[in-house]
Amino acid sequence: MTALTLSTAGAATLRADALVVGVAQGAKGPVVAPGAEAVDKAFGGKLAGVLETLGASGAEGELTKLPSADGLKAPVVIAVGLGAAPEKDGAYDAEALRRAAGVAARALTGSKKAAFALPVEAAEDVAAIAEGALLGAYSFAAYRQNGKDAKDVKGPLGEVAVVGAKPRDKAHKAAAERAVALAEEINRARDLVNTPPNDLFPESFAAVATAAGKEHGIKVQVLDEKALAKGNYGGLLGVGQGSVHGPRLVKLAYTHPKAEKTLALVGKGITYDSGGISLKPAGHNETMKCDMAGAAAVFAAVVTAARLGLKVNVTGWLALAENMPSGSATRPGDVLRMYSGKTVEVLNTDAEGRLVLADALWKASEEKPDAIVDVATLTGAMVLALGNRTFGVMANDDAFRTSIHEIADEVGEQSWPMPMPAELRKGMDSPVADIANMGERMGGGLVAGLFLQEFVGEGITWAHLDIAGPAFHESAPYGYTPKGGTGSAVRTLVRLAERTADGDLG
């Protein structure tokens, strides 16, 4: 894990393997961003010109390495693009800082220490730089054979020193501590998503949650397949019955003695989605270890809330099952009796996420929380609609949906509000059961949302985040986003918990 320090030493005098500075797009070419004045001075005030000569423009995602100048302790300077320079006296956008810090941290794999001399005006800038650097430094090398020449084997950047932050400033210190907790838990969620499904299955995921609960004072309860059968959890059992690894429902309860509100978070935790008897075709199941990313996000959010000691109760529900075809698997045509009592005709065993979530949503509803948010890699349709970087937000309450979209924006996560058109419900009418698990193909993501809504308790505010697009990143890394698990939705959930603690919502 990468360490974070707030440095009192200036950029020039700090001992580090590299000095990271910001470069932005000015009206007449690249400009050196605030925070790097001492560095620019060491280059005789000509750093912007040197960068321009090297082809730098200051565009987002750009990285330029140059040898250091006399008077600087670090041997290398790394200039990262911040995009368009803000208007005079304007501040740099938090997400631009986060991404630039992430770009630098990724390039510094294998280094011991780097000094980040990016623009710091307020505590939010410290937070953004720290988050971006710690998230960008992430690597997943657990399955690499030692000594092989893979980049991630060199190990992540050892230490991030934020220059210009004030270690004795309360707000700066709090921002840094929050960033460390948040980034460590996001990186843990990424690890869970990246762990192959032969090692991560419901039982082993539950064991990870139990251990984390002990460490952070979170009460953890695990319902195994016996307990699920006793409790009539037909959705979890129906999805899990084709696998040698039985399903689990995990409850994580973080409570604060002075909390006034309780937030319930429900995560889809399909540790592998083969599609079941409605088997996915080749080409569609190679990445389906990511189908527990919702549960991983919920888990990470509860642990972060506990680490930050937020004044709100946060209950996490992980709906864990492995969706496999076998002689014991649920068949298309089977009818499941769900935990809520409702019956579901399973027309397609690949629409399994909504089945495990239905049980968890109903269970969560029984405790009458102030709000429920579920997070799920639920539909390919949402990926078609919104692409690979944006999650869809649905809700039974317009204001709540808007709040979540705004919160996501604030923390640098891309989301978009989606409707729940009532006319799509009839597509799920079943000739034998109360509802079918599939409806019209058009608007498939919205159909799934409508299905889930039927398993939310009366009068409870609820939102559904479909993270099928952004949960797993398959193309080249960018900003602080690596290949593989991303930790999508964790920052949104944590800020939602903070807002709820502050009494900002409802």
Q: Which stretch binds Zn ion (CB under 5 A): 144-152, 269-277, 417-425, 484-492?
A: 269-277
CB of 276 to ligand BES, least distance (A): 9
Q: Is 322 among the residues that bind Mn ion (CB under 5 A)?
A: no
CB of 332 to ligand BES, least distance (A): 10
Q: Which stretch binds Mn ion (CB under 5 A): 210-218, 272-280, 298-306, 459-467?
A: 272-280
Torsion angle (degrees, nearest 10) of CA 356, 361, 363, 369: 160
Q: Is 466 among the residues that bind Mn ion (CB under 5 A)?
A: no
Residue 58 forms beta bridges with which residues? none
**Shortest Cβ contact with Zn ion: which residue?**
273
Q: Is 353 among the residues that bind Zn ion (CB under 5 A)?
A: yes
Where in 12-51 is the site for Zn ion (CB under 5 A)? none
CA-to-CA distance for 343 and 336, rounded, in angstroms? Answer: 6
Q: Which is nearer to Zn ion, 138 or 299 (CB)?
A: 299
Residue 436 forms beta bridges with which residues? 345
Site string for ligand BES, 283-322 (x = CB under 6 A): --------x-------------------------------
CA-to-CA distance for 301 and 209, rounded, in angstroms? Answer: 12
Answer for which of 133, 137, 383, 424 binds ligand BES (CB under 6 A) is 383
Who's near 469: CB < 8 A, 6+ residues apart?
A: 382, 383, 386, 387, 388, 389, 390, 391
Q: Is 294 among the residues that bind Zn ion (CB under 5 A)?
A: no
H-helix or E-strand containing 191?
A: helix 170-194
Q: Which is nearer to Mn ion, 352 or 454 (CB)?
A: 352
Angle at 268 between CA 262 and CA 269, to 5 degrees: 115
Answer for which of 273, 345, 466, 498 binds Mn ion (CB under 5 A) is 273
How would you classify the pairing of strands 472-473 and 461-466?
unpaired
Q: Is 24 among the residues that bind ligand BES (CB under 6 A)?
A: no
Nearest to 243 by CA among 290, 288, 203: 203
Q: Which of the choices Zn ion, ligand BES, Mn ion, none does residue 379 contact, using the CB cut-off of 5 to 8 A by kind?
A: ligand BES
Q: What is the three-class DSSP state of 27?
A: coil
- DSSP summary character for residue 332: T
Q: Which of the choices ligand BES, Zn ion, Mn ion, none does residue 380 contact, using the CB cut-off of 5 to 8 A by kind?
A: ligand BES
- DSSP summary character for residue 256: -
Q: Which stretch binds Zn ion (CB under 5 A): 42-50, 351-359, 366-374, 405-413?
A: 351-359
Ramachandran class of 2: left when φ > 0, alpha when ψ lies in -120 to 50, beta otherwise:
beta
Residue 222 forms beta bridges with which residues? 250
Cβ atoms of 23 and 64 within 8 Å: the answer is yes
One-letter amino acid for residue 140 of the chain: F
Q: Which two tokens stand for residue 366?
A: 């029984």
Q: Which is nearer to ligand BES, 128 or 189 (CB)?
A: 189
**Shortest Cβ contact with Mn ion: which residue?**
350
H-helix or E-strand containing 23?
A: strand 18-26
Total residues contacting Mn ion (rule CB under 5 A)?
3
- DSSP summary character for residue 292: G
Q: Which of the choices Mn ion, ligand BES, Zn ion, none does residue 438 contact, using the CB cut-off of 5 to 8 A by kind?
A: ligand BES
Site string for ligand BES, 441-480 (x = CB under 6 A): ---x-----------------------x------------
Answer for which of 100, 351, 489, 501 binds ligand BES (CB under 6 A) is 351
**Residues lying near Zn ion in the complex (CB under 5 A):** 270, 273, 291, 353
Chain contacts with ligand BES (rule: CB under 6 A): 273, 291, 348, 350-353, 377-381, 383, 438, 444, 468
